[in-house]
């Protein structure tokens, strides 16, 4: 059994870096594989181009005639680039992407061979909705689903396939994907934020939510990764003792990038650049063999598509370089896990970042308006926002002393806290000229100076203001950003609608000036959302106790976190904002609970395989060798052997104790899994897996890892941490 491990190590040592030559400036080939504006101008009529642009900017409908023109232009361009197939590229509730390829090849009515792709194929395709997660709302006999073109995200060429970003809906109209709700949330945000932005600039006609994600990941040699059944099937190491050296020397973070990895990064960045993904930053992360990639900010829908595409491309390029890329949030014990920080802001079509202070008091009042409303929105719906980052894999990371805790709080820095505290003291109603001057010049006017030194020092904060954006740090590294971005944009849009209504009432009914009304409403929001602001250490037990006293939720596992989805408040929120119907919300809750169950179930099965197929046999084999040694000593030395074999016998006994514990706990875990599988209620089943099955994992692992320490290295069948993490 151990041969597999040593063969994998031998293979990894034979790797030579795959040389990648970067040619030309990135700007020269950025987006060459994207049907972007430049290509549309070249391949579409002016009318078709204008109609597509109108659909992107204002959501205008594209009729069949125009769709045919667009399809013809896309086809001509794609075939000229070597494309042979097309696909609707969508985001089912699996969290990944899906595609079905069809060839352009077809026959004409006269039987002649031709390349065919029309408006019908562009705009809509039919798929089997029963084969994707659907929460049980579709019977097999009524399982049709449809993918529909999303013109706001440009088509792109991946290999020889034209990929068309689409939404995925059931035949009855319910969204069965992550993109459709995101688009609805972004539409709601645009409408709500534009109405408020007009208080400060009448020329604003559209507001875009922007997103800049930071993708963390591990790279492991492919042979080493595939020598581990747990990495292959569960995406993480279920067992494995820590290496003597981990990340304690901080010598990996921002260190020199290993040659093989650097060539992987070059290859990846070239492919991303061709696909229009604006990758910019690359570096070593904290843990050994952990890295990070980050792009330039984009409009949120496009950024989400690009992140999903990036993960697909990373796996393809990693394989080419004999790597396995791990997106699991916690693939290795006792070293840092991986997240996907979501940097979120709002930008107007006039080029203004609404979360960036300006050069005048009025611009800073605009900043404060969107800043405080965001804080208020997160305070109102902190539990719902927490649910958007819940998953079986992310449960390992949240609150694990290197990541944000499961408690949602906001860090804004000492100086901005002082500004809000001063605004909290604003007089109710009309302001005197002196108060207006004090506020605008000595409070609001100083914000740009304050932010010059307002660097984000609290890395434990799950939701931090970092100068001109909010950074949501709890998002898991393999998550689809669409989920947290849908919730965040929905709750902020809801809050902005409420804000505008209150301001308008003060202006219309109380006769207050616009800026006075804004100050009055912001003052109340600052008071009522104070509990969510926290500047301290998110890991401490003291904070957990304080957060509880403040009334903040602390849902430490996924089944707990997902319960809020179907609360009256959540259902009312999504319905009022036209983001998700009650059926769509309940579908998502059921799908995510089922996904949680399946992940734990798979890990439980892998544990059984590891225990009985790898670890116990290896331990017994080594134990037999020790026993044979003891017997030999006895044969040679007689009674005198006892002192000579004392250590061997001690190890034999320790091995027996660990083997016995592994068997007892593995069998008990299997029994609990069987009990859980017999439950029909999805909630009870999820909690059973969480409370009764999963706790055995740590107990079984403890004894497996102890055996790894005492069993001879040549007998141990599983590739060890020192090999997985330090073979470059």
Residue ranges of the chain whose pLDDT lies below 70: 1-2, 127-144, 401, 448-459
Q: What pLDDT, on the 0 to 100 scale, is given for residue 449?
A: 64
Per-residue confidence (pLDDT) for residue 401, from 0 to 100: 67
pLDDT at 20: 80
Q: What's the angle, vertex CA 534, arms to CA 531 and CA 535, rounded to 5?
A: 160
Distance of CA 98 to the CA centre of its chain: 17
Please name the helix (run of DSSP H) or strand (run of DSSP E) that holds residue 166, with its range, or none: strand 161-170
Residue by residue, DSSP assigns 295-364 as E--EEHHHHHHHHHHHHHHHHHHHHHTTEEEE--S-SSTTS---BEEEEEEEEETTS-BTTS--SSHHHH
**525 membership: H or E segment, kind and range:** helix 514-528
Q: Rounded to an integer, what distance in angstroms lies between the CA atom of residue 578 and that of residue 144?
A: 23
| Residue 427 to residues 184, 415, 439, 587, Cα–Cα distance (Å) | 38, 22, 11, 47
Q: Which helix (H) or strand (E) holds 534?
A: none
Strand pairing category for 85-89 and 161-170 = parallel
Give me the phi and psi of 191, to 5 degrees please: -65, -45
Residues 705 and 667: beta-carbon distance below 8 Å: no
**How far apart, in Å, are the Cα atoms of 474 and each of 190, 464, 470, 581, 693?**
25, 11, 12, 26, 25
User: Among the residues of 678-720, which ranges form H helices?
Assistant: 682-688, 695-710
Q: What's the pLDDT at 156?
A: 97
| Confidence (pTM) | 0.94
Q: Which of 183, 172, 412 shows the shortest CA–CA distance to 305?
A: 183
Phi, psi of 104 (to 5 degrees): -65, -20
Of 708, 683, 386, the C-alpha closest to 554 is: 386
What pLDDT does 715 receive? 95
CA distances from 204 to 94, 335, 352, 354, 513 (A): 37, 47, 9, 11, 21
What confidence score (pLDDT) does residue 62 get? 85
Query: 514-528 and 482-509 helices cross at what angle (nearest 10)?
Result: 130
- H or E segment to which residue 504 belongs: helix 482-509
Sign of CA dihedral 96, 97, 100, 105: negative
For residue 328, list its beta bridge partners: none
- pLDDT at res. 367: 94
- Residue 207's DSSP bridge partners are 348
Please count the other Cβ atoms lying within 10 Å of the Cβ belonging to residue 260.
Answer: 18
Q: Are strands 161-170 and 279-284 parallel, antiparallel or unpaired?
A: unpaired
670 burial via Cβ count (<10 Å: 0-12, 13-18, 19+): middle
Q: How far apart are CA 708 and CA 711, in angstroms?
A: 6
Dist CA 12 CA 67 (whole Å): 51
CA distance 96 to 632: 58
What does the pLDDT read at residue 116?
Answer: 79
Query: Which among 693, 668, 408, 699 has a CA at the least distance from the CA of 559?
Result: 693
CA 323 to the chain's CA centroid? 21
Residue 98, SS3 per DSSP: strand
Q: What is the C-alpha separation between 53 and 47, in angstroms, rounded?
A: 10
């Amino acid at each position: 059994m151990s041969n597999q491990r040593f063969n994998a190590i031998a293979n990894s040592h034979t790797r030579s870096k795959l040389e990648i030559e970067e040619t030309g400036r990135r700007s020269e080939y950025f987006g060459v594989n994207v049907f972007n504006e430049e290509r549309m101008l070249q391949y579409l009529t002016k009318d078709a181009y204008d109609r597509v642009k109108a659909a992107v900017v204002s959501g205008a409908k594209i009729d069949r005639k125009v769709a045919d023109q667009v399809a013809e232009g896309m086809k001509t361009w794609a075939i000229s680039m070597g494309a042979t197939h097309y696909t609707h590229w969508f985001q089912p509730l699996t969290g990944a992407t899906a595609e079905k390829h069809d060839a352009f090849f077809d026959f004409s009515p006269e039987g002649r061979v031709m390349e065919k792709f029309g408006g019908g194929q562009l705009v809509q395709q039919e798929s089997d909705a029963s084969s994707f997660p659907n929460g049980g709302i579709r019977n097999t006999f009524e399982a049709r689903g449809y993918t529909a073109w999303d013109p706001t995200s440009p088509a792109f060429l991946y290999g020889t396939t034209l990929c068309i970003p689409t939404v995925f809906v059931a035949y009855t109209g319910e969204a069965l994907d992550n993109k459709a709700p995101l688009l609805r949330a972004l539409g709601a945000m645009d409408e709500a934020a534009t109405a408020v932005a007009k208080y400060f600039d009448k020329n604003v006609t559209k507001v875009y939510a922007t997103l800049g994600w930071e993708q963390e990941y591990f790279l492991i040699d492919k042979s080493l990764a595939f020598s581990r059944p747990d990495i292959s099937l569960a995406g993480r190491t279920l067992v494995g003792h820590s290496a003597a050296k981990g990340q304690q020397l901080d010598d990996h973070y921002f260190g020199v990038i290993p040659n093989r990895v650097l060539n992987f990064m070059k290859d990846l960045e070239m492919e991303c650049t061709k696909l229009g993904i604006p990758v910019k930053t690359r570096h070593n992360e904290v843990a050994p063999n952990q890295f990070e990639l980050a792009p330039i900010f984009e409009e949120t829908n496009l950024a989400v598509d690009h992140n999903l595409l990036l993960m697909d491309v990373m796996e393809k390029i990693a394989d080419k370089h004999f790597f396995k890329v791990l997106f699991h949030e916690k693939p290795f014990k006792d070293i840092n896990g991986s997240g996907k920080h979501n940097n979120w802001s709002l930008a107007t079509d006039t080029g203004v970042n609404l979360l960036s202070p300006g050069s005048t008091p009025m611009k800073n009042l605009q900043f404060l308006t969107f800043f405080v409303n965001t804080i208020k929105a997160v305070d109102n719906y902190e539990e719902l926002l927490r649910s958007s980052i819940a998953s079986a894999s992310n449960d390992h990371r949240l609150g694990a002393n290197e990541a944000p805790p499961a408690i949602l709080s906001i860090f804004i820095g000492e100086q901005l806290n002082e500004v809000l505290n001063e605004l909290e003291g604003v007089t109710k109603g009309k302001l005197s000229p002196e108060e207006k001057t004090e506020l605008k010049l000595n409070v609001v006017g100083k914000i740009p100076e304050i932010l010059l030194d307002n660097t984000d020092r609290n890395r434990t904060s799950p939701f931090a203001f970092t100068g001109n954006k909010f950074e949501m740090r709890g998002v898991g590294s393999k998550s689809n950003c669409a989920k947290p971005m849908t919730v965040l944009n929905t709750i902020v849009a809801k809050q902005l609608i409420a804000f505008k209504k209150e301001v308008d009432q003060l202006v219309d009914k109380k006769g207050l000036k616009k800026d006075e009304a804004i100050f009055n409403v912001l003052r109340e929001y600052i008071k009522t959302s104070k509990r969510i602001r926290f500047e301290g250490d998110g890991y401490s037990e003291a904070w957990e106790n304080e957060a509880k006293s403040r009334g903040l939720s602390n849902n430490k596992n996924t089944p707990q976190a997902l319960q809020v989805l179907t609360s009256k408040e959540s259902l009312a929120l999504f319905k009022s904002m036209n983001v998700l119907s009650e059926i769509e919300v309940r579908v998502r809750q059921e799908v995510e609970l089922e996904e949680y169950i399946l992940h734990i179930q798979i890990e439980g099965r892998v544990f059984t395989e590891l225990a009985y197929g790898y670890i116990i046999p290896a331990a017994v084999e080594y134990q037999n060798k020790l026993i044979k040694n003891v017997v030999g000593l006895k044969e040679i030395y007689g009674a005198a052997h006892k002192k000579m074999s004392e250590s061997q016998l001690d190890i034999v006994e320790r091995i027996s104790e660990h083997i016995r514990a592994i068997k007892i706990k593995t069998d008990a875990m299997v029994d609990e899994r069987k009990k859980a599988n017999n439950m029909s209620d999805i909630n009870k089943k999820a909690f059973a897996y969480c409370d009764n099955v999963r706790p055995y994992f740590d107990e079984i692992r403890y004894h497996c890892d102890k055996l790894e320490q005492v069993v001879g290295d040549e007998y141990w069948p599983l590739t060890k941490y020192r090999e997985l993490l330090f073979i470059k």
